[in-house]
Structure 1
C-alpha cells in the first residue's frame, strides 16, 4: 500500500468539514466570514506614543491573520459542504449497487467497503463518523453514536483469508480504552471459530459478508416499502362519494358517515352502562360531535 501524502492544514479542514452535514457547514462558513471580515476591516488604532505599541501588538496580529483567513476558512467550509453532499450521493449509489447485485463485496475497493458499512449503520439510526484511520490493513474505521453511546467498527475486506481471533481481540481492547459501549467487526468473508468463540458473551458483534448482504437488502426493501405507501390526507366533514359499482357499496356501509356532521364513524366499545362491552358506531370527531349509532358494526 502506498504511503499517504501528508496533507496541508487547509486540506485537513476540508476533510473535517466534509464529516459534517452541509446544512451545518454552510451557516458556519457565513458566520466565519462575517466575523473574520469585521476583524480584518476594523480600524487600526492610533498610537499616541511608542510605549503603546506592545499593548496593541496582539490586535494588530489578529487583524493580519484575519485578512487571509476571512476567505480561506469559509472557502474550506464550503468545499467541505460540497464534498459532504457528493459523498452522501456516492454512498447511496454504492449501497444500491450492492443491494441489487450490480456490485459485490469483493468487487469494490477497501475504501468503498468502509463507506458501504457506514451507510448500512447510518440507515439503522446511527450517527456515523468516518475516522480515516484504518486503511487497507487495520485500525478503527468508523465511530458510531446512538442514544449518547459510542460504538467502534473495524472493517476487513479480506477476499480469501479468514479473519483471525487477534483482530477481534484488538478491537475489544480498543473498546475498553476508549470507553465504548460496544463494537462491530464487519468483514466481506468469514471469521474463524476461535474469533466467534472469543466474541461470545461480550458486547461485540461479528458480521460476516453474508449477514452484511442481508442487512443491506433488508434495509433497501424497508425503505422501498416506506416510500411506496400512499400518503392519505383525512378531510373531516367531506361527504364520501357514492360509487355505482355494487362491489364498493358494502365498504361504504361498513363504515358509515355521521348523520350529523358527515365525518366517518369509527368502531367503539362501551365502557359503562347497561351496554358495557358492546360495540357501537361513534363519530370520529368526538368530543366535538357525540353522535352514535347503536347497531353492532358489521
Structure 2
C-alpha cells in the first residue's frame, strides 16, 4: 500500500509531538510573540514609495502575509503536538507497565514491533532521569534511534529488536563511528537477543554499554517504581528488613545511574575490602559499599 502523503502542517505536528509537551507550548508562545507584531505592522501605501524601494516592500509584504497566517497556524500545531506528546507518553508508560507485569517479560518483548521496542527502551531510560529525543523514521534497522541527555552530556542509543540473530561487531563498530561524529559521551546498544563475543570485545574501553535480552529485562524492572510495603507484624517486619539488607546483584550508580561492578580496594584503610564501583570509572567515581549479609 502506498504511503499517504502528508502536508507540511501535519509533518510539523508530528515533529512537535516528539518533544516534551511543555517545549511545544513554549515554541507556540514564542512564535506568536514574534509573528504577531509583523502581522499587524502598517503597510506602506504605493503612493508613498520612493524609487528603488519596491523590492524591499514586496519582501516585507511576503513576510507579513506569512506572519498573518503563521501567528495562528504555528501555535495551533504546537498545541496539537503537545497533546500528541502527552498521549504518546501515556502509551509508553502503559507499554512499560504491561511488559514488566507480564509473567514472561521476554516473550512480551519479542511480541513487540520495532517501533514499540524503541518506545519501550526510551521510556525505560526516561525513568532513569534522561531526557529523550526520538530520531524516528529510520526503519527497523536504522542507525541511532534515541538521543539521551543528562547533566549536559549526550548519549546515543541503538535498538536492535532481533529475536534470533546475534548482534555482531560491524553493528557496534558503526555505532562507535556515530558516537564520534555526534560527539557523544557514551552510548548503548540494546537488543532483545544476544551479542557475539567479538562485539563484546570491541565495546570494551569505548564507553559503549551492550544490553542484551537478560540485561533488558533488568532495565525494565528497575524502571518500574517499587510499591511501598507496610509491615503487618513483627515477623513480617523482620523478613522485610532482611530482604532489604540483601545487596542487589547489579546495583545502580548513585551518581550517574549506570551499572556497577564489584571491585576490591587495593590501597588505603579499606584495602582488601569489596565495594561496588561505577562501570564508567574513571569518568564517574560513584561507589556503593557492599552490605554484609
Same fold, judged at TM 0.5 (above): yes
Residue 41 of structure 1: how far off its partner (Å): 2.9
Q: Rate the CA distance shift 1:55–1:214 in 2: closer, same or farther, 3 A.
A: closer
1:157 equivalent in alignment to 2:161: yes
Question: Which residue is equivalent to 1:120?
Answer: 124
Question: SS at 1:132's partner residue?
Answer: coil
Q: Distance in 1 between matches of 2:139 and 2:176?
A: 19
Q: Rate the CA distance shift 1:56–1:212 in 2: closer, same or farther, 3 A.
A: same
1:9 equivalent in alignment to 2:11: no
Residue 71 of structure 1: how far off its partner (Å): 2.3
Question: SS at 2:54's partner residue?
Answer: helix
1:72 equivalent in alignment to 2:54: no
Residue 213 of structure 1: how far off its partner (Å): 1.0
Structure 1 gap segments, 5+ residues each: 231-298
Question: Which residue is equivalent to 1:95?
Answer: 96
Question: SS at 1:105's partner residue?
Answer: helix
Q: Distance in 2 between matches of 1:64 and 1:106?
A: 51
Q: Distance in 1 between matches of 2:44 and 2:77?
A: 31
Structure 2 gap segments, 5+ residues each: 231-293
The alignment of Structure 1 onto Structure 2 pairs a total of residues equal to 225
Question: Which residue is equivalent to 1:32?
Answer: 31
Question: Which residue is equivalent to 1:141?
Answer: 145
TM-score (norm 1): 0.69
Q: Distance in 2 between matches of 1:195 and 1:99?
A: 28
Cα root mean square deviation, aligned: 2.3
Q: Distance in 2 between matches of 1:34 and 1:180?
A: 34
Question: Which residue is equivalent to 2:135?
Answer: 131
1:167-186 superposed matches below 5 A = 167-186=171-190
Q: Distance in 2 between matches of 1:38 and 1:229?
A: 57
Q: Distance in 2 between matches of 1:100 and 1:69?
A: 46
1:189 equivalent in alignment to 2:174: no
1:279-298 superposed matches below 5 A = none
Question: Which residue is equivalent to 1:238?
Answer: none
Q: Rate the CA distance shift 1:95–1:58 in 2: closer, same or farther, 3 A.
A: same
Structure of greater Rg: 1
TM-score (norm 2): 0.70
Question: Which residue is equivalent to 2:226?
Answer: 224
